[in-house]
Each structure stands twice: as C-alpha cells, then as structure tokens.
C-alpha cells in the first residue's frame, strides 16, 4: 500500500504530533553500513547497497541507504535484523528514485532465516519512478512471532534508489482523547508520552492540574477556547507546572478557557490561573477570573523560554503585583495577546504585565494592554511594570491603565495609546471594530507570518490578512455570536453543527442548520485560502441541511492530503468556518 505524503508548512495551531515506540527505527545516520544486525545481499555479485551521505537526498537527517548501480539492478537485498511481531505492528519506510527512473522492488518477509530463499512472504510488489519520497506501509499483524524483513530491488535503472526512515512497531499513544480515552484531563496527561497530543472535547472540566515531568505533551482543545473550559473551582491553581520538571516550550497549552483558579499559599511559587515554572508555549487561550496571593493573578512564567501567544487575559487579580501576567527569572516572547481589566491590589505595580528579574530581553509586541489597574501601588505601571529586566516593547496599544500605562519602561516604536474600540463586550467578546480600531493592520508582521491568517478579530468572522491586527484573535471554530440580519443573532455552532468523520479519507458529511431561509453558499478552501470546491450555492429553507464532500475539487480531481476549511455564508454574510482534515 502506497501513501503519498505532502508536508504542510503552516500547521502552527492545529499540531497533531506523534510519539512512536518502534522495534526498528533506522535512519542510517551512523558511519557504519550496513547498520548493526542488518544484511545486504547481492546474489548476482557486483554493486550493492551502500550508505549515501548527501543530505539533499535524505528524507530526514543526512543519510540514506542507496543502491547506485552503473547497470540495472537485479535481485539486490536490504535485510533487517530479526524482530518480534505483535498484533498491530506495521512496517513503514520512505523511498524515492535518485532521478526520474523507474525502480521496481518487492517487500518481503521471512519466518526462518536471512538467506534470500527464506523470504517466502511477499508484502508488496512496488514501483516508483520519480524523485519524490513516498511512504510505504504494511500491516504485519498476520505474521506474529520472530521474522526478518527485506527490501528486494528487482530491476532498477541507473543512477539509484534511496530508502530512509525504516520503522517496525506501532504507534504508542499518538493521540489521547478526553473524555473518550480518559475521563479527566489529569489522567490523560499522566498517560501521555513525549510528543503525545492530548485532545480535549468541548465541555467544562473542573480540575486543578499538575503537569507531569514529560516534555513535549501538547494539550489541545478540539473546538476552541470558548467551548472548552478548565475551571479551578476556586480551590487551587488551574494548571501548575512544577519547577522540578524538565520541560521546554515544546510543551504546549492550546485553546482553553482557564478560569476560577485561586492561589493563597505563602511559598515562592504563586500564579492563579497558570503557574509555569519551566517555560511552556501558552497560546490561543482565554485566561480569566483567576486570583493569586502574590504575583501573577492570571499566569506567571518563571523558568526557561516561554512563548505567550494569542491569549485573552482578562479580569484576573493579584493581591501583590502582576494582576494579568508575571515574567520572572526566564526569557519570554509575549505576542498578540489582549490583556484587559486585570488588577494588582496593594502591591508592587503592574496591573497588566510585570517583568521582574527576567533573564535576558523579553519581547512584548502586538499586544492590547488596556484598562488594567495597579491602584494600590506607588510604583505605578498599571499597564506594564518593568524591574531589573530588559525588554523590547513595540507595536502595542497600551491605553487607559491606572495610575499610568508604563513604569520602568517606555512605549517603544510603532505603538499607540488609544481606545482599541472593542465590539460586543456585552456578550463577553473582544472583537475589534474593523473600520475605526487603531489596532487593525497595525502589527509588526503579516497575518501569515504571525500564524494568524486563519484567525480573526472581526465580528463578521473575516479572517485576518495583510498586516496582522494587534491583539487576541478568535478561531472561527469557536462558538461566536454572529449577526445574520438585524433581528437574528445566534451561535455559530448551531449553524455549522459538525462534519463526520473528521479526519476523513473517502467522504465527510457536513451538517448545518438555518433558523430562517436564505441564500446559502458553502465552499471548501485549502490552507492557502484558495477555493477548492463549491458544495452549495442556492436558496434554502429554514431547518437542518447536509452535504457530502468526497475530497475532490471543482474539476473532479482528488485533493491532496492536508487541512481544509469549509466556510458557510448566508445572504452574503460569513457566519462559520470549520476545519476539516483529509487523510489518505
């Protein structure tokens, strides 16, 4: 079975990572060939498999195994060490022709030995004829016990045939689903391996999480921050990452509402909503209504190199400093956050952000920092307070903070101090008025460069483009109130109910519900924003509707594997966008 795998370069916010436990995991990166336990057998003499060290031809790393004949190949074998097959095990490897010459090969299995006549089981008769890597995968479940595996190059044209990244075994906890696999997020985290993605379904989870000492776990909500809530119940911090852990910013918290955390301890590790003492990536979250006795009502980061990106940090309180965010004894990048309504009472300053003994220069760019307060402090810094720290503040909107916007620092370049003009505050949203907000198109880079071109600051859910807007961006999958006409306002999740299955390989059914009749346009776009397929373009009555997408474009051609977006418009107004994953 062949699978053509295409690399996606812009999957910053929907990363599904995998951890695998392989009995064979050979990328040919050593200096000895064949590797220990491997065999090459050329029954006809002459040239055979050798080590290629030109990284231009590697699938990953620098090396490959290559057959480089000066004449067509005939019956040349690359044989693995003996392995023990269990149910669910697979063999997978990547292969390509050196140039555009056809290479014919068999994938073989032996249950007895390594002589070529022992390989009596044919897993695949394959052919490849272009200079692009293909993945080849075979289910070994029918052959339990000790076996040898081999790639037999049968007939091949000069100048060669590359094989790389040979693996045998099975995925271990590539993804963990909450609550399908474990009832609580804490149990899912405890069961995760390095680079496991813990995917949390929509709902409210009343938990106080302590992160395990496993680097690279990605904690990801399935449907966005407004739909997926972790509530600390006022009992303790919502998420605590202990200082003793050895984590990096490869560990990610992505797409949650973090609320009602409460820290009232007297130790050196405060932080109400998130207390991060290692330096994680914290992105696409809503952090609200948390309290800390000490610094960091919303969150504190105090270790490693933290990435604080695209969060809405609102209405958090500290009885000391840093009502919203505290950065201490670490390096951090703080970008595209909206920090509003946080307060530091009777403390050392910094209603919105405090930098205190940061290690190196902290970057603070493209943020909205408004209406925070440090009224109890003679040191000021209602917006940003900096002490014994280096920082780079640029392209921010810092306005309306009390008693002042900055203390221990200045606004920097390309910043403004003006009302950001939020829209729909009465419903708890912080959209920007697209016509008059000073934050529109005012950021330091393009929306694509910032990774926010599939997100929006617009009440109408128009995706950001051109120069990035300053501040927090909503994902269109979130349950956001959208106006269809002057009389109807309802949630996006009732318009585009779901698509199933997702991911899909053959077809997926997309369902939506119309509260009134209207002209419906339903289109599929690729990750570059290009139209792929128009599914619906007609007036439809009120009620439930569904349509099948079979993974083809408007010309009937099959699309490539990857992420797509289904966008629903009613009466020429965008009302919903749904992410769809197509796999082969």
Write the pLDDT tens digit of every residue in 541-564. Answer: 888 888 999 999 999 999 988 878
Whole-angstrom distance, CA of residue 103 vs CA of residue 314: 60
Across the range 298-314, mean pLDDT stands at 94
- Which position has the higher pLDDT, 531 or 307? 307
- For the segment 318-334, the average pLDDT, to the nearest whole number, is 90
pLDDT at 46: 61
- Mean predicted confidence (pLDDT) in 4-17: 30
Q: Which residue has the tokens 């081999």?
A: 150
Highest-scoring range by mean pLDDT, 173-177, 274-278, 344-348: 274-278
- What pLDDT, on the 0 to 100 scale, is given for residue 73? 54
Average pLDDT over residues 282-308: 93
Relative to beta strand 518-526, strand 203-206 is: unpaired
Phi, psi (rounded to 5 degrees) for 5: -105, 125
Largest CA distance in the chain: 87
Nearest to 59 by CA among 35, 10, 11, 92: 92
Contact 339, 322 (CB under 8 A): no
Pair 230, 205: CB distance under 8 Å: yes
Distance of CA 567 to the CA centre of its chain: 21
pLDDT of residue 14: 34
Give all strands (DSSP E) within 80-195, no chain letters. Answer: 83-85, 90-97, 103-110, 121-128, 134-139, 145-156, 161-171, 175-178
Q: How confident is the model at residue 434 (pLDDT cuts 50, 70, 90)?
A: confident
For residue 364, pLDDT beyond 80 = yes
Q: Which of 5, 13, 92, 7 is nearest to 450 (CA)?
A: 13
Q: What is the mean predicted confidence (pLDDT) over 29-53?
A: 85
CATH class of 481-582: mainly beta
Cis ω for the linkage preceding 214 (within 30 of 0): no
Statement: the pTM of the whole predicted model exceeds 0.85: no
Rounded Cα distance, 270 and 294, in Å: 6
235 CB-near residues (< 8 Å, 6+ apart): 208, 262
Calculate what percentage of the chain has a pLDDT beyond 90: 51
Characterize 197-222 residue by residue with b for buried, 16 or more Cβ atoms within 10 angstroms of its Cβ, and e for exposed.
bbbbeeeebebbbbbbebbbbbbbbb
The pLDDT of residue 465 is 87
Distance CA(432)–CA(188), nearest Å, equals: 36
Looking at residue 413, what is its pLDDT?
95
The H or E element containing residue 494 is helix 492-495
Contacts of 250 (CB under 8 A, 6+ apart): 195, 215, 216, 281
Residue 481, pLDDT score: 43
CATH assignment of 20-171, among 3.40.50.1780, 1.10.10.10, 2.60.120.200, 3.40.50.2300: 2.60.120.200
């Amino acid at each position: 079975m062949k699978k053509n795998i295409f690399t996606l370069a812009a999957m910053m916010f929907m990363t599904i990572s995998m951890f695998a436990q392989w009995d064979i995991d050979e990328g040919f990166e050593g200096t000895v060939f064949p590797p220990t336990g491997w065999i090459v057998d050329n029954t006809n003499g002459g040239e055979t498999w050798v080590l290629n060290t030109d990284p231009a031809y590697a699938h990953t790393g620098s090396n490959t195994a290559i057959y480089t004949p000066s004449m067509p190949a005939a019956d040349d074998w690359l044989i693995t060490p003996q392995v023990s097959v269990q149910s669910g095990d697979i063999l997978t490897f990547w292969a390509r022709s050196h140039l555009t010459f056809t290479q014919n090969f068999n994938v073989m299995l032996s249950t007895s030995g390594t002589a070529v006549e022992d390989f009596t089981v044919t897993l695949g008769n394959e052919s490849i004829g272009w200079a692009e890597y293909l993945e080849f995968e075979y289910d070994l479940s029918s052959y339990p016990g000790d076996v040898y595996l081999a790639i037999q190059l049968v007939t091949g044209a000069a100048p060669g045939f590359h094989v790389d990244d040979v693996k045998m075994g099975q995925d271990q906890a590539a993804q963990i689903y909450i609550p399908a696999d474990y009832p609580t997020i804490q149990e899912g985290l405890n069961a995760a391996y390095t680079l496991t993605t813990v995917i949390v379904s929509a709902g409210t989870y009343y938990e106080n999480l302590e992160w395990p000492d496993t680097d690279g776990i990605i904690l990801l909500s399935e449907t966005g921050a407004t739909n997926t809530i972790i509530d600390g119940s006022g009992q303790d911090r919502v998420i605590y990452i202990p200082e003793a852990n050895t984590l990096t910013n490869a560990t990610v918290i992505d797409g949650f509402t973090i609320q009602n955390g409460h820290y009232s301890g007297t130790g050196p590790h405060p932080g109400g909503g998130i207390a991060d003492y290692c330096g994680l990536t914290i992105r696409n979250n809503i952090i609200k209504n948390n309290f800390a006795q000490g610094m960091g009502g919303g969150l504190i980061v105090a270790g490693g190199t933290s990435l604080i990106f695209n969060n809405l940090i609102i209405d958090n309180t500290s009885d000391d400093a840093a009502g919203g965010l505290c950065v201490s004894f670490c390096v951090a990048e703080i970008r595209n956050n909206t920090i509003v309504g946080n307060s530091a009472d009777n403390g050392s300053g910094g209603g919105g952000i405090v930098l205190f003994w940061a290690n190196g220069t902290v970057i603070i760019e493209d943020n909205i920092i408004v209406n925070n307060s440090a009224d109890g402090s003679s040191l000021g810094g209602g917006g940003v307070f900096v002490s014994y720290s280096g920082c780079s503040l640029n392209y921010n909107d810092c306005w309306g903070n009390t008693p002042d916007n900055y203390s221990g620092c200045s606004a920097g370049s390309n910043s403004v101090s003006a009302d950001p003009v939020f829209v729909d505050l009465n419903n708890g949203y912080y959209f920007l008025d697209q016509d008059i907000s000073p934050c529109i198109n005012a950021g330091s880079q393009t929306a694509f460069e910032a990774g926010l071109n599939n997100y929006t600051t617009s009440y109408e859910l128009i995706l950001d483009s051109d120069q990035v807007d300053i501040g927090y961006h909503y994902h269109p999958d979130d349950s956001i109130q959208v106006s269809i006409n002057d009389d109807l306002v309802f949630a996006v999740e009732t318009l585009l109910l779901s698509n199933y299955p997702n991911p899909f390989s053959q077809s997926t059914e997309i369902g939506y519900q119309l509260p009134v009749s209207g002209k419906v346009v339903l289109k599929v776009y690729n990750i570059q924003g290009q139209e792929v397929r128009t599914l619906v373009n007609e007036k439809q009555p009120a009620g439930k509707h569904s349509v099948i997408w079979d993974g083809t474009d408007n010309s009937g051609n099959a699309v490539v594997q990857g992420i797509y977006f289904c966008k629903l418009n009613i009466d020429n107004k965008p009302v919903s966008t749904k992410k769809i994953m197509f796999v082969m």
